[in-house]
Amino acid sequence: MKDSLRILHLDCTMGQGGQEKDHIHEACEFRRRGHLYWIGARPDTFLLRAAQKMEIGLSLPMRSNFDLLSFATIRNFLKSEKIDILVTTSYIDAVLGWFAAQSLGESLPVVVRQRHLLNPPKGMLPFRRFCDFIVAVSDIARFGYIERKIPFWKVVAIPRGIPKPEEGRAQFQSSFPDWPENDRVILQIGTFQRDKGQLPLLEALRPHLARHPSLHLVLLGEGPLRPNIERRLASGRFADVRDRIHLPGFDDPLPYYKRASALVVSSFRESYSLVILEAFSHEVPVVGFRQGGVIEAFSRGNFGELVPPWNFPLLAERTVAWALRDLPPGGGAPRFLPGSFDIARSVERTESFYRWALERKKAGELGKNLYETFGGRIDPFAGEEEKIRKAETRREPIEPECKGETNGR
């Protein structure tokens, strides 16, 4: 029997979205497989409360990347618990975790930066220097780092999964309304922020809601954009449909999935959409933009359709068609890959990667290009590291090898 892994996962997030829930789901599955798993998070956050409920929470202020109290706490925890794998997520915890690990000398753990976002990072130095490997949640996210000159051997893509529909879903007291049985519910789930597209989605769906009195729109979530959404809904042009647009805040999504006629994914960019997998697991059709990790999520199932990016009128039109099932004869039959949504599959691959990384550490190969060969190099990024380092030091752009070529833009 293999030894249990000892894992500490840090995240200074203040949110309550898919990333935070994924951390909890991953921790539960690792523990189910017999490993020890702790989560370090800020006080009074959803992530820490959920972790403490499972008795695996470590409270850390993480006020900045120079927070000495957090540094000392992380360092002492790594040493006392003999952590094998340190997982970091955001900028502050990535810096604190890396230097805390390095201060342990030869007993340091393998440091893995887990990346859920497709947003372009402000700087690449933490990804180049402050982790041994990067685990991205999708191929599109992995390719983004390779395009930014992170060596391909340092970045791994491991798509995420979700618990079974009956597991771990009753985290909130549901306030699901008692609507007529024949009404149709369009569901959108996500943090209220601009790249989730709630405001343009409202405008695009407004005429359809006016045309179909049986349609309801539920925006499930919270976030900084809520006041903007409420002001928009208070305007006169939404007066006739306002009572069928619902903002329940954070709530247990299970009853909404059970009642939803369609899920709309209105995000401008997605690294990997777990709500798509959740909708598929409840046999709810999904309509979204053909971009980013949405395409990869659709590779695990096919129930709904994807439309050209940022065409909100078309997105609204096709979402309503699916909600009302105004589809061609024989269309709309769900097709899913058996077992492809389960978090267990994702954690199994993650565990295998962690064990491989620990073997590289034992062999003294961390930070080395494993694709170098005697007599030549097969890594297309070999030799670029020194050039990148000097350019970063001078804060100058890296010149292309062939100055006469253009990128066609």
pLDDT of residue 342: 86
pLDDT of residue 164: 74
Q: What pLDDT band is residue 61 in, cutting at 50, 70 and 90?
A: very high
> For residues 183 and 35, which has the higher predicted lDDT (pLDDT)?
35
Q: Is residue 174 part of a domain?
A: no
pLDDT at 382 over 80: no
Q: Is residue 172 part of a domain?
A: no
Looking at the fold, whether 351 and 317 belong to one and the same domain comes out as no
**CATH number for the domain including 262?**
3.40.50.2000
> For residues 45 and 283, which has the higher predicted lDDT (pLDDT)?
45
Average pLDDT for residues 14-32, to the nearest whole number?
92
Looking at the fold, whether 230 and 96 belong to one and the same domain comes out as no
Q: What pLDDT band is residue 334 in, cutting at 50, 70 and 90?
A: low
Q: What pLDDT band is residue 339 in, cutting at 50, 70 and 90?
A: low
Looking at the fold, whether 282 and 321 belong to one and the same domain comes out as yes
Give 308: exposed, middle or buried? Use CB within 10 Å, 0-12, 13-18, 19+.
exposed
Instruction: Report the C-alpha gap between 134 and 145 in whole angstroms.
Output: 9
Looking at the fold, whether 202 and 111 belong to one and the same domain comes out as no
Closest CA to 244 of 285, 272, 205, 301: 205
Written as one string, the DSSP assignment of 170-218 is --S--------TT-EEEEEES-SSGGGTHHHHHHHHHHHHHH-TTEEEE
Give the start-end residues of each E strand in 250-367. Answer: 262-265, 286-289, 301-302, 304-307, 335-336
Looking at the fold, whether 14 and 146 belong to one and the same domain comes out as yes
Average pLDDT for residues 307-319, to the nearest whole number?
96
Under DSSP, the state recorded for 296 is H
Q: Is residue 154 part of a domain?
A: yes
According to the per-residue pLDDT averaged within each range, which of 37-46, 121-130, 356-365 is highest?
37-46
Under DSSP, the state recorded for 121 is P
pLDDT of residue 389: 55
In the chain, what percentage of residues exceed pLDDT 70? Answer: 84
pTM of the model: 0.84
Average pLDDT for residues 269-285, to the nearest whole number?
89
Instruction: Report the C-alpha gap between 60 and 332 in whole angstroms.
Output: 48
Instruction: Report the C-alpha gap between 399 and 383 in whole angstroms.
Output: 14
pLDDT at 213 over 70: yes
> For residues 172 and 129, which has the higher predicted lDDT (pLDDT)?
129
Looking at the fold, whether 36 and 73 belong to one and the same domain comes out as yes
Average pLDDT for residues 92-109, to the nearest whole number?
94
pLDDT of residue 336: 67
pLDDT at 374 over 60: no
In the chain, what percentage of residues exceed pLDDT 90? Answer: 61
Q: Is residue 55 part of a domain?
A: yes
Q: Is residue 389 part of a domain?
A: no
Q: What pLDDT band is residue 341 in, cutting at 50, 70 and 90?
A: confident
Q: How many domains does the chain have?
A: 2
Q: What pLDDT band is residue 113 in, cutting at 50, 70 and 90?
A: very high
Looking at the fold, whether 137 and 237 belong to one and the same domain comes out as no
CA atoms within 13 A on the CB side of 186: 32
Looking at the fold, whether 206 and 329 belong to one and the same domain comes out as yes
Residues whose CB is less than 8 angstroms from the CB of residue 123 and which lie 6 or more positions away in sequence, other chains included: none
pLDDT of residue 366: 86
Is the CB of residue 297 less than 8 Å from the CB of residue 276? yes
pLDDT at 138 over 60: yes
Is the CB of residue 125 less than 8 Å from the CB of residue 282? no
Under DSSP, the state recorded for 107 is G
Q: Is residue 380 part of a domain?
A: no
Instruction: Report the C-alpha gap between 247 and 260 in whole angstroms.
Output: 15
Give me the domain span that covers residue 288: 184-336
> For residues 302 and 304, which has the higher predicted lDDT (pLDDT)?
304
Instruction: Report the C-alpha gap between 304 and 298 in whole angstroms.
Output: 9
pLDDT of residue 106: 83
Looking at the fold, whether 119 and 198 belong to one and the same domain comes out as no
SS3 104: coil
Looking at the fold, whether 108 and 190 belong to one and the same domain comes out as no
Written as one string, the DSSP assignment of 208-261 is HHHH-TTEEEEEE---TTHHHHHHHHHSGGGTTTGGGEEEEES--SHHHHHH-S
Residues whose CB is less than 8 angstroms from the CB of residue 215 and which lie 6 or more positions away in sequence, other chains included: 183, 184, 186, 208, 209, 244, 320, 323, 324
Closest CA to 208 of 312, 346, 351: 312
Helix (H) or strand (E) holding 111: strand 110-115
pLDDT of residue 379: 57
CA separation (Å) from 260 to 15, 201, 278, 297, 303?
25, 17, 12, 19, 14
Q: Is residue 211 part of a domain?
A: yes
Instruction: Report the C-alpha gap between 344 and 204 in whole angstroms.
Output: 38
Helix 46-53 / helix 18-32 crossing angle, nearest 10 deg:
20
Looking at the fold, whether 202 and 295 belong to one and the same domain comes out as yes
Averaged pLDDT of the chain: 86
Lowest pLDDT segment from 83-97, 113-127, 236-250: 113-127
**Count of Cβ atoms closer than 10 Å to residue 193 Cβ:** 16
